[in-house]
Amino acid sequence: MNDAELGRLADAVQTNCDIADAQHAGDMTLCIYLLQMREFYRWERGLPFGAALARDAVGAWIAAREDRWSALDGQAWLALPRGEAGGTDGTGFDAFDVDAVNAWLNPQGLHYGAGLVGVDRPVFFLAELAGRQQREGLEVHVSGRELARGLVAPPATLGSGDCGPIVLRQAALARWCWEKYEAYRLRPVVGSAFHAVVTAYGLEQDFEAGLQRCVAEQGETLVLHEIGEHRAGRLLGSPWGAMRMALPSRRADLHARAVRDHIADLSVTLPTLLDRGAAAAVHFWFANFDGVRQLLFPALDAAYADWVRGDGGAGLRRAAAAGVPHFTRLAQRALDLHAREGRAAGAAIESLLGAPAAVCAL
């Protein structure tokens, strides 16, 4: 692929990213939106992490980006220019035909991603392909420098149908780690989980070197989580996706996602990290243990505190052993409601997932 073809492809992918952002950027709170836009600006301008930003320049860029979103709102997804390869519609690749696009791009050292990060929130990206591997029968695709991306850039995803591949976006992961560190610097809390992360990776002494180690280890943690998601998907079956589509609110969907995340992490991620003695990764996991996941399993915080005090992970292992069956039963009850009542079960499932009995108590 020559530079002109690559440029056309990247422009098409970026346009689809912008169409998605036009539909969903307003879903964020104002604070999160502004923080994400600052990092999006840094990425688009090729600025290093921590580069000083001129407020007027960022403000003008945000206004221009929002004007572009307004112009694109409601437009259909663009087909991706195919170069000399065959497409699906005679003119280009369908934007969601990931397998066909990557069959063309991967041999050229590129990787394309398209999918949903919520019930109806599409994301797209185009990046350099950094590597491929096999884990537990799943393909793992690792991408590097990103050529097109949206406002939301999940660092790791599992392919549709829970069949893979696992996609690890190293550039998005590095930016996410930077954002966590930047937030910590603004309000450092000595003794917190993220303070332990900063210490373990020496981020205050040599940020660049520490970030490389952090990205490598957290990339492995994310792959473990997606392996756990794959196992949870096999356990819960295909009706799980249809059940989520029937939920009546974003709050209900957040609870459903948290339940499945717990099944994945308590069965795979945390036990594996403990087995490996990956202390920094355990600290990082708990630095991100918040929101609905924390609401549904507050006892995990006490188990983490016991681990910090030196119990060797015994409390965390007990918590995991109790949490997996608890959240599996909760998920199955939600599936049973949906099987009996279909979309009419949405309100009942929301009540089930938000009830006091949904909380796992040790």
For the stretch 90-102, pLDDT in tens is 568 999 999 999 9
pLDDT tens string 42-71? 999 999 998 999 999 999 999 999 999 999
Nearest to 102 by CA among 90, 116, 114: 114
**Residue 166, φ and ψ in degrees, nearest 5:** -80, 130
pLDDT tens figures, 311-326: 999 999 999 999 999 9
> Residue 32 has what pLDDT?
86
119 confidence band (pLDDT: 50, 70, 90): low
Structure tokens of 162?
């829970």
Q: Give the end-to-end CA distance of the chain in Å, rounded to a whole number.
A: 57
Q: Does this model's pTM top 0.85?
A: yes
Kind plus residue range of the DSSP H or E element containing 238: none
Q: Please report the pLDDT score of residue 86 as a whole number.
A: 44
Q: What are phi and psi of 97, to 5 degrees?
A: -85, 70
Q: What angle do CA 265, 266, 268 make, to 5 degrees?
A: 60
Residue 255 in contact with residue 292, Cβ under 8 Å? yes
Q: Is the dihedral of CA 293, 295, 297, 302 positive or negative?
A: positive
CA gap 335, 342 in Å, rounded:
10
pLDDT, tens digit, 9 for 90 and up, residues 337-352: 999 999 899 999 999 9
DSSP classification of residue 342: G
DSSP output for 282-333: HHHHHHT--HHHHHH-THHHHHHHHHHTT-TTHHHHHHHHHHHHHHHHHHHH
Residue 102 and residue 113: Cα distance in Å, rounded?
9
